Amino acid sequence: MTELSGPNPSNSTGLPTVEDYLAISALQHYAYCPRQFALIHIEQAWAENRFTAEGQVLHQRVDSHETEQRGKVRYERSVSLMSHELGLIGKMDLIEIETGSPTRYFPVEYKRGKPKIEEWDKIQLCAQAFCIEEMRETTVPDGAIWYWEVRRRESVVINEQLRNLTRDVIEDARYLLKNGLTPAPLATKSRCRACSLKDICQPDTFRSDKTTQYVAEIGE
């Protein structure tokens, strides 16, 4: 696995310990559904379906760990990432490094599906950009997501709006982890149909359960 060099964590600095680091891939889970995030990363629940299986096959192909040079651009795959400031750890599928002044770093994330209106996938890419910026003391203004279903790249501008959204997701996800909380299902039922955890989550059962609402009303 390729790894960008960067500073080592130090407990004396007050930065997160290794156990406190949040997986970059978990941010996409939270952005899609906070309950899904909690089931996977707090309750350690997991189940396969066609979508998760296809995603694994895609990443097996991507994770070749090969480095390739084409002119001024070097292509590195399965690159380890870490941000001590934000407490993030993970890896990216591909980074394109173009030599110049300054050196240009361009992260590329591979996804099984197709482009989305929502920001779920972009948040994961932005978190990767945060790590690159910290590790290489640079700025990453943009990147791309390659979608297997449509066989094309979608360019992503890593602007301040996306950065702020990603920071919020990091903070909210860390709050759930710290407090061991599993939220109720989202009201958006369409997301449940593609979720491999639907049988474990039982969203319709929890939506029909009025206990939480009853307890809240008592406390008012």
Return averaged pLDDT per consecutive 10 residues of the chain, 220 residues in all. Answer: 49 57 94 92 70 50 73 94 95 94 95 90 98 97 94 96 98 94 86 81 72 46
Q: Is residue 162 part of a domain?
A: yes
C-alpha–C-alpha distance, residues 65 and 220, integer Å: 56
Average pLDDT across the chain, whole number: 83
pLDDT tens-digit readout, 19-47:
679 999 999 999 999 999 999 989 888 65
Q: Is residue 187 part of a domain?
A: no
What are the CA-CA distances from residue 31 to residues 124, 187, 212 (Å)?
Answer: 9, 14, 23
CB-CB neighbours of 23 under 10 Å: 16
Q: Is residue 145 part of a domain?
A: yes
- CATH at residue 57: 3.90.320
At 39 the three-state DSSP class reads: helix
| pLDDT of amino acid 209 | 58
C-alpha–C-alpha distance, residues 143 and 129, integer Å: 8
Q: Is residue 207 part of a domain?
A: no
CA dihedral over 29, 30, 35, 41, signed as positive or negative: positive
C-alpha–C-alpha distance, residues 120 and 147, integer Å: 13
Rg (CA), the chain: 19
pLDDT tens-digit readout, 40-83:
989 888 655 444 444 455 455 556 567 899 999 999 999 999 99
C-alpha–C-alpha distance, residues 7 and 24, integer Å: 18
Q: Is residue 213 part of a domain?
A: no
Domain count, the chain: 1
C-alpha–C-alpha distance, residues 10 and 8, integer Å: 6
Q: Is residue 36 part of a domain?
A: yes
C-alpha–C-alpha distance, residues 54 and 127, integer Å: 24
Q: Is residue 196 part of a domain?
A: no
**Nearest-CA neighbor of 143 among 81, 51, 65?**
81
Q: Is residue 137 part of a domain?
A: yes
C-alpha–C-alpha distance, residues 29 and 38, integer Å: 9
Q: Which domain holds residue 109?
A: 2-181
